[in-house]
Chain A
């Protein structure tokens, strides 16, 4: 007997899934908000080879770049509270885990962006007698930012995908809510098909924005 698909019943629970989706987005936004400043600072420190700080940045970036998101989430939720003796709610624990990991990717993105500015720009700024931070602020970073923004959107795509892991520590994001709906109506495949479609529409759009920005900024540079 072939399986009878029934999407109608899942669609009745669409508001539940979308509420989970809203939590997913909130968590992603918080993680990005944490990752961006740390990432920019770490990236600049590493690229500028600032004495004493640069090796720390390298260890930080390489550690979080090669660590596993789900392991970090479990560590922040189950282990960190034992260490600091403060109970963290699921949102904070996951935000710290994903935010720190994303900050390492962000740092690499900033470094690559700054590296891609031709040496002539650095030299010209120095020839004008600009001090270090002015060179960065007015010459290098504005140009690097243009190359970094499309990649920033791709980083956002990765962060959103990673936040679906938050359900593992019971944060009510989209996958967690989907499990609840699926158990209630005994329709796991249909539920997760719909969840997949919701994620696809959202992430595909973000990806297209990245592509559009990349083309647009490429025109400016010519």
Chain B
């Protein structure tokens, strides 16, 4: 006798799934905003003339990129209450750990973007009497940012995937909601299939958009100087 698929219960539990999706979206948005901000600072550190700043940036990026995201998340979950005295919270731990996670990967995007701006731009800005800060702020970063956009898109996709880690410390995002529903209804096949499809339906179009943007950026300046 073949397995009889039944998705009806999921339609009835739609509001629950939507609440889970909303939590996923909230975590994603907060971690992306903070992650991009942290990444900007650390990316500039990584490109700075000062060896100390470069050292700080390198230690941060290597530490995050060479440890599993799950270990970071659990670490923050236990460390935040002990180190800061704040009450232990799955939301806070997820937001902090995913922000730092995204920060490290986007720092590398900023660094590569800044490095892709040719030396002549820095020199020309200096010749105009700009200090280091103004060279970065008005000449280098505006040109670099355009080239970074597709990479940030991919980062946003990876972050959306990483938000599912929060289910392991019982933050009520989409996967955690699905787990509860699957156990409650004894229908793991339908529930997990639905979650898989929801993620694909959201992330696949975004991924295609990133590929198109990448081609467009490559066409417009090819990462190389134009006369």
Candidates A67, A85, A164, A203; contact of B199 at CB < 8 Å: A67
Candidates B188, B195, B204; contact of A71 at CB < 8 Å: B195
Interface of B, secondary structure class, is helix
Q: How far is the CB of B107 from chain A (nearest CB, A)?
A: 16
> CA–CA, A62 to B209, complex, Å?
13
Q: Which of B34-42, B131-139, B145-153, B159-167 contacts A (4 or more CB under 8 A)?
A: B159-167
Contact B164 A192 (CB under 8 A): no
Q: A199-B66, A204-B66 known; A83 and B3 CB under 8 Å?
A: yes
Q: A161-B69, A203-B67 known; A193 and B207 CB under 8 Å?
A: no
Contact B192 A71 (CB under 8 A): yes
For A65, list chain B residues within 8 Å (CB): 207
For A3, list chain B residues within 8 Å (CB): 82-83
Contact B67 A200 (CB under 8 A): yes
10 closest cross-chain pairs (CB), A and B: A78-B188, A188-B78, A164-B68, A203-B66, A66-B203, A79-B189, A161-B68, A75-B192, A79-B192, A82-B189
> CA–CA, A160 to B65, complex, Å?
12
Total CB contacts across the A-B interface at under 8 A:
108
> CA–CA, A78 to B183, complex, Å?
10
Candidates B71, B161, B191; contact of A164 at CB < 8 Å: B71
Q: Is B157 an interface residue (CB 8 A)?
A: yes
Contact A68 B199 (CB under 8 A): yes
Scan B168-210; emit 1 where CB is below 8 A from any A CB, else 0.
1000000100110010000011011101100110011001000
For B74, list chain A residues within 8 Å (CB): 175, 178, 188, 192
Give chain B's interface residues, CB within 8 Å of chain A. Answer: 3, 62-63, 65-72, 74-75, 78-79, 82-83, 157, 160-161, 164-165, 167-168, 175, 178-179, 182, 188-189, 191-193, 195-196, 199-200, 203-204, 207
> CA–CA, A98 to B67, complex, Å?
18
> CA–CA, A65 to B203, complex, Å?
10
Give chain A's interface residues, CB within 8 Å of chain B. Answer: 3, 62-63, 65-72, 74-75, 78-79, 82-83, 85, 157, 160-162, 164-165, 167-168, 175, 178, 182, 188-189, 192-193, 195-196, 199-200, 203-204, 207
Identify 14 residue pairs between A and B in the complex whose beta-carbon atoms are under 8 Å apart, listed by A's number. A3-B82, A67-B199, A68-B175, A68-B196, A68-B199, A71-B175, A78-B188, A78-B192, A161-B68, A164-B68, A175-B70, A196-B71, A196-B72, A203-B67
Q: How far is the CB of B82 from chain A (nearest CB, A)?
A: 5
> CA–CA, A70 to B199, complex, Å?
12
Contact B71 A79 (CB under 8 A): no
For A78, list chain B residues within 8 Å (CB): 182, 188-189, 192
